[in-house]
Structures are given as structure tokens and as C-alpha cells.
Structure 1
Amino acid sequence: MSFAPSDPGAPAIAVRDLCFRWPSGAEVLRDCSLAVPRGQFWMLLGTNGSGKSTLLRTLAGLLQPQSGTIELHPPVGFVFQNPDHQLVMPTVGADVAFGLVSEKLSPPEVQQRVTYALAAVNLLDFIRRPIYALSGGQKQRVAIAGAIARHCDVLLLDEPTALLDPDSQIDLVKQLQRLVKERGLTALWVTHRLEELNYCDGAFLLEQGRVVDQGNPDRLRQRLIQSF
């Protein structure tokens, strides 16, 4: 069950006792609970198979849990690991505008939203640039711009730097950190790269489908380093 919190002081993302299993019966999430404060940037850590991507897709409504509750403010922006899976239009501006089709806005309103969103990710000069001419990091920023154009308060990002080179990786995480601080967004970012913890407000550690630790990113990083 998913619904928007009525209390303005409530966390932007709240998950309680979430359970998810595949039709085969394989259990991925087990009584999983977490809360992300409004206007903060949190990361979700865990080994392969711990349930990170499944949890994020459940929050985005792409998967339906068997039990538990999810509270978050729609619309929610989702950024895939591979941006080519979600950029569908030939140019940057057209792709950001594509997500606004269902809102039935006037052409000037669409243009205003697109301009605002691309300026937010420092890509306004790329508005007519073909998608194929972008780097991987620029494509991910276009995907984030699409969520900003739709006025999403919550961003869910599934290992968005997995396919990027180290410089582009750090640039993207810094861009999101800035957006969270300047525009009051709330973000939950899945990662396995410990260096990215330098840029978040807090982190969750997921093991076998449930959150087993959370809080200060430096402490969690040391816990993971010591476990290797």
C-alpha cells in the first residue's frame, strides 16, 4: 500500500515492514523499514542480491509488495542505472518535455518547465543537443532534469554512476547534492561505491532484504571497510 503522508513534518519517504517476493516464491524484502527526512540526500548500500534495486522499484511503483506500507509524495522521479533505458526523444529539450505530455500544459508553460529543469542541472546550453551526442553523465543529468520538470519532490536513483567513468561519477553525485540543498529535493540513491558516501546526509545498509544499520555515512563506510 502506498500513499502520501498528510503530516507536513513527516519524512519524505517512509517504508514500514515492507515484504516482496517474486512469483517463484523467492523472498527479496523482509520486514524492510526506513525513513528519509525531507530535503535530505540518503544512500542505500548493500551487497549484490541484498534487495536494493527491488526496494527502489517498489518505492517507484514499478513493483507491488505483498505487505507493508509506503508513504511518499508523488510524482516521484526514477533514474535508471542505464540512462538509455529512459531517454526516448531525439534531443535534450524534447526528452525533458516528453515527460510533461500528460499534464496538458500550454507550449509556453512547457518551455518554461524545460528551461528551468535544464538550468538546474547545468545543461541549458544543451537544449537542442542530440541525445546520442551526450556523455553518460550528461544523459543521467537529462534524466534528472525530466524529474525536476515534472516538479518531483522525491528522486529515486538506482546506481546512476555504475556506467560512468570516475570523473563523471563524482560530477553527477555533486550535482545531485547541490540540487538537494538548493531546491529542497529529497533523494534516495543506490550505490556500491563507498567514495560516494562523502556527499550524502545519511545512509542505510541493507542485508538480506532488511535495513540492518543506518545513520552517519562515515560510520557505515568504516563498518563496510572492516567487513572486507
Structure 2
Amino acid sequence: MIQLGIEVSELNFSWASGVSAIKSCSLEVPKGEFWMLLGTNGSGKSTLLRLLAGLLNPQSGKIRVSEPVGFVFQNPDHQLVMPTVGADVAFGLVSEKLSHAVVRSRVEEALTAVNLLSLIRRPIYALSGGQKQRVAIAGALARNCDVLLLDEPTALLDPDSQIELVAGVQKLVKNRGITALWVTHRLDELNYCDGAFLLEKGSLIDQGEAQRLKQRLMELHQETEIPQ
């Protein structure tokens, strides 16, 4: 029997205005796999990710996500709060009341996983956009996250940093057995995932092999500007 890292059943969510954002959505992400969430602007991708992270509450349906859960925002400046790389990665461990030695070990291990250990004392303001996103991911890894949710984490990055980040997450999934769900508009990122979901107007309309969904999305929305 396949173990699931993420399981959603008949999920529905509407905004306070009454506008429906997610409609009868059901999906499963196998544990230890890297899946992507596709769709045009307004299709509900970011809303669904926030529901999975517990940042929003659905009106109906079921959500089961293995914990701990790490969430990476599109703009890392919205979640990096400490002055240095090491301090920011350690910040999420405060509530666990760990010894200084354990905290340092976890921080160093997490930064090694994202190839930033050499920058442990670097001020956050001195980092590139790609480095900031990797610090955000390291913060989730330090908390031993079982599921990693990423909301268009390469949207603000240059092409080289984009590929470096998505390839790095793919490696983390394989090496650590993390379950990852990544929201994207960039079709070239589909080369790195195990599978993908396609949302349209809040409904899941297709899922499966990434390259097939890439082609379908291009055919359905030829007039939509999607970086390729």
C-alpha cells in the first residue's frame, strides 16, 4: 500500500465574499515524491497550498498532511526575520526548547543540505534572491519537516537561480524522503518532478505524468503568457 504525504478529499473553499476558490478538490501525493501544481493565474494554486499548510480553513472536505510541514513563500523577505543566515534557520527551533548543541547541529545540517553552510554568519540583506529561498528551505529542514510546500519559489529569481533551486529541492526529496508540492508557472521546472496536478477555476482537471500535463496546459492556454 502506497504511503501518502498529502491527501485531500472533496475540499471546498470560498472567500468571505462568497466567491468559490476551490471546488470538490481531491488529490494524493505519495510520501517521498516531488509533485508540482499547475494552472493559470486565478486557478486556485496558492489558495490550495495555503489550505494544506493550515493558513486557511476549508468550508468542507478533508486534509491530511504529514507533519511537521514547511512552507516557502514566493517572496523570501516575507518569512526571513533574523539578521543572519544561521540565526534565521535557528529561529524556528525556539519552541522546541533544544540544547544549544542540538540547535547548532540541526542548523549546520540544514544549511549543508542547501549548500549554504559557508554563509552561516552572512547577513540576510547581503544574500541573493536564490540564496534567501534556500535559507527559507533550510529553516523547514532544521525543523525536520516531513512535507515541504513551496508557493512559486522561483517567481522572483533569474533563470540560473531558478534551476539551481528546483534541482536542489529534487535532490532533497530523494535524499531525505521529504514529500514536496511546488506551485509553478514555469513549465521547464516540470523536468524535475515526479508528477503534476492541473487546476482550472478551482477544480482539479488532470493529474499524472508531468510532460503530458505540460503539453495539455500549453494547448488549453495558448494565449496565456507562461514562461517556458
TM over 0.5: yes
Q: Supply the distance in 1 between the matched residues of 2:8 and 2:101 (Cα, whole angstroms).
A: 38
Unaligned stretches of 5+ residues in structure 1: 1-7
Task: Answer whether contact 2:39 2:217 (CA < 8 A) is retained.
Answer: no
Task: Confirm or deny: 8 A CA contact 2:50 2:56 kept in the other structure.
Answer: yes
Displacement of 1:9 after TM fit?
4.2
- The yes-or-no answer on 1:27 pairing with 2:20 is yes
1: CA distance between counterparts of 2:158 and 2:86? Answer: 25
Question: Quick check: 1:102 aligned with 2:88?
Answer: no
* Alpha-carbon distance, 1:17 to partner: 0.4
Hey, what does 2:191 align to over in structure 1? Answer: 198
1:125 equivalenced with 2:118 (yes/no): yes
1:212 and 2:205 correspond = yes
**1:29-48 matched pairs, under 5 angstroms:** 29-48=22-41
Aligned mates of 2:104, 2:60 — CA distance in 1: 41
Partner of 2:21, secondary structure, is strand
Could you give the per-residue CA deviations for residues 149-205 of structure 1, whole angstroms, max 9, x where no partner exists?
Answer: 000010000000000011100110000011011111110000011000000000000
Q: TM-score, normalised by structure 2?
A: 0.95
Identical amino acids, percent of aligned pairs: 73
1:13 to 6, 10, 16: 6
Match of 1:154 among 147, 154, 178: 147
- Determine the C-alpha separation between the residues in 2 that align with 1:113 and 1:34: 32
Which AA in structure 1 matches 2:58? P
Instruction: Find out whether 1:176 has 2:163 as its counterpart.
Output: no
Offset of residue 208 of structure 1: 1.1
Matched letter for residue 27 of structure 1: S
CA distance in 2, matches of 1:189, 1:135: 21
Superposition TM-score, scaled by structure 1 size: 0.95
1:215, 1:224 → 2: CA distance?
A: 13
Among candidates 62, 65, 76, match of residue 58 of structure 2: 65
Is the contact made by 2:196 and 2:208 (CA closer than 8 Å) also made in structure 1? yes
Q: Measure, in 1, the Cα distance between the counterparts of 2:36 and 2:218.
A: 16
Measure how far apart 1:10 and its partner are.
2.9
- Give, in whole Å, the separation in 1 of the partners of 2:54 and 2:217: 30
Give the Cα–Cα distance (whole angstroms) in 2 for the partners of residues 97 and 195 of structure 1. Answer: 33
Partner in structure 1 of residue 86 of structure 2: 93
Q: Is 1:82 the equivalent of 2:75? A: yes
How well do the aligned residues superpose, as a CA RMSD in angstroms?
Answer: 0.9
Unpaired segments ≥5 residues, structure 2: 223-228
- Displacement after TM superposition at 1:130 (Å): 0.4
Name 2:226's counterpart in structure 1.
none
Query: Quick one: distance in 2 between partners of 1:216 and 1:196?
Result: 13
Query: Structure 2: how far apart are the matches of 1:9 and 1:110?
Result: 33
- Aligned-pair distance for 1:39? 0.6
Is 1:116 matched up with 2:116? no
Give 1:224 shift: 1.6
**Alpha-carbon distance between aligned partners in 2 of 1:221 and 1:56, rounded to the nearest angstrom:** 20
CA distance in 2 between counterparts of 1:59 and 1:159 reads 15
Quote how far apart the aligned CAs of 1:226 are.
2.1
